[in-house]
A and B are shown apart, each in its own frame.
Chain A
Amino acid sequence: MSTPDAPRGRGTFLADVRRRRAATRGRGRRIRNLFGMLRPYRGRLVLLGIALLLSTGAMLAPAPLVQRAVDDGLADGDLDALTTLVVAFVVISLIGLVASMALARLVGWLGARLLSDLRERIFRHLLTMPVAYHERQRAGVLVSRMTNDVDALQQMISSSLVTLVQSLLLLAGSIVILLTLDVKLALITFTTIPVLLIGSLAFRLASVDAFARTRETIGAITAHLQETLSGVRVIRSYGRERAHLDRFTELGDDNRAANMKTVYLNAAYFPAVEYLSTAAIVIVLLVGGHEAIAGAVTIGVLVGFVTALDNFFGPITDLSNVYTTFQSGMAALDKIGDLLEQESTLTDPEHPVAVPSPLRGELRFDHVTFSYGATKAGVTATTVLDDVDLVIPAGATVALVGATGAGKSTIAKLATRFADPTEGRVLLDGVDLRDLRQNDLRSRMGIVPQEGYLFSGTVAENIAFGRIGATREEVEDAVDRIGAREILDALPRGLDTTVGERGTSLSAGQRQLVAFARALIAGTPADRAGGDDEAQRTLHRGIGGPAILVLDEATANVDLRTERRIEEALATLLEGRTAIVIAHRLSTIRTADLIVVVDRGRVVESGSHEELLQQGGAYATLHRDWQHGTEDAAAALP
């Protein structure tokens, strides 16, 4: 993205400054959005304001007090006045203490609340993003937004932001105090302000890139780590730890270099700010001293002034100290903002149409063309589906066959609206899928994606994931119905065995069985389906479950014996449901009502097993491959 080391000739200097300014544009809006999220907690915000004012006031008290003490108490030797002042001071300090305690609590509360809300918002946003987005984004980067970046924001808000506000208040208070103490000296002091402003602006522009780089590089580190953790099996299998360590060090070096740049900038900026305060004191002493000697001001005023200067520059030094956290936080906010502002390309319609009821389950591909978005600008995406025109009749089982990469899974993706066609329409019972709410659509479907994914938890929990409120009986029933009872019962704790993240403590076939059972749980529960809706009941024979099943190589890793059992079960299961079955095994395909042969994104043939064999086309050739050599194996059988 931004290249901090871009060549910077004379002519490009201005352009560079302009670009850097632009890099921080939108921050105001984002901060406003961030604070907009605080609206529900207005009451606490008001309290926070009060606590802030009180504690800041207490901090400002010493300077005027000491001035009074010197001029009233000490000069006149009036000890009673002194005592009264001290008592007042102690009371103010105690109020300050209580106020700071309240302040710390309120800030902590609001900070934690705001970031919790922000985490939830990022998460919700990520869930609405289409699958295509997630296929291209690295999970680690997204997680980094929710961890590293939110954490940086939290530091900014809980420490820096209060310091910022408090410092500004202190600054404002000090300005007033300085002015009341002595206008001339005050004005002399204020000449440092423009110097500070220009310096800060220059610093900000100089450091924008560096701070953005630190966020990017830390994101890359997190993503690499995440991938290493998910791919640990491959890394171990091939003994490639060294390469990953080297890469990690490389990423670490990048991050360190980016951070080092901020260290240089900070080292130049902050001490300079600190020096300004010394310079101001020197000038005040010189000018004020001469005036005092001339009798124009009292010494008490001078002492008070020097003390107040501390309050004037103290916050400025403070501000510079939190500036790093502040910059990191702002850079993090930029990244989070970029993420949240990415709009989903696959949205629900404003006025969704209800899923037809009773749902017959006819799926129609109406001249559908599809291509996955180009990976890079300028590269035209290859067409994955080309003018697919296909009717999947209600209640029919349709098998998609074809070579790998032909586009079978893509057809399934479009049928479940994981993606929208580039051209053409996909219709369910005559309704364009884009007119339905995605959740309404998918909650009527049972989907076994080619890449099964299990969540950490037990086998039963994973199966119950198929639908909200699935009961244990339904889970057991689903297991029975696909004939996986024997295998899953053999697990150490049966259905209560924990599967580990991604299901790593199950075998590949066991994982598929669980994913299969999970798909059967989806849809309407048996009682409701058999309840008020007459048509539904007849359609599904009171067993409930999904109206449409999409099985993408659901049994590819299962042994033949188990698969056999599943197939027998499927015969009754698929009755009355629309099913799209993708498989490479003939036994599954042969029994389908309709076989659709896909080749390079086109539907080249469709019909029943017998019809296609008779046609003698692509399917017949494929079938010959299957048949090839069976006689030989048969001969081996006793």
Chain B
Amino acid sequence: MDSISTQFYKAFIRNDRWLLYVKGLGNTLEVTAFAALLGVVLGTLACLFNLQRSKSGKRTIGSYIAYVYIDVIRGTPTMIQLLIMWNVIMATSKNKILVACMAFGINSGAYVAEILRGGIQSVDEGQMEAGRSLGLTRNMTMLYVVLPQAFKNCFPSLLNEFITLLKETSIAGAVGLTELTHAADQVSSATYQYMMPLLGAAVMYFVVVKILSFLFGILERKLRESDNR
């Protein structure tokens, strides 16, 4: 068994291996960021459609589609969704990052939709009624009045979703994408030692999560200040 310092040397320094982690971390962050963006956009749309009702109170076709999307995505493993995206839907694409962004974004969208539904339902109904009473349409009132309040209400849950997303990208190694976990795994295979590379990757994930939480904390405080609450 190598000494700790030798292990460290092998895991990070020899053959400039640290570059592999940097590349992995970069890919992890890139996939997380774009998937989160896609997730928020898709999730917002899915949520709004999911809540849509016709005049007689029944679901619209858009509402059914949104409902099925949310239900199916939340009811199946992310790994399977990723493999289907890579091997079936985008089988002709060689761009692993793009495939991962799509798969994780579509996955995250379903969760964001549910989080946002909670946020919208926690906004006082009087807000919508006031908007409608002024002649604003339902969509306008949603956009300018209800959604901004809903997003603020579910800020902590959204942060949680982004943290989950970040960690979940660690399965993207399954399609051969060198994200952080896969990078650590490659080092392990090359050096026949596991502790240092995996510990190193874990520390990097942890630090990113901490930074993310910190930034969200600032953003949340800003929102509250501007709001005098």
Indicate, yes or no, whether A interacts with B: no
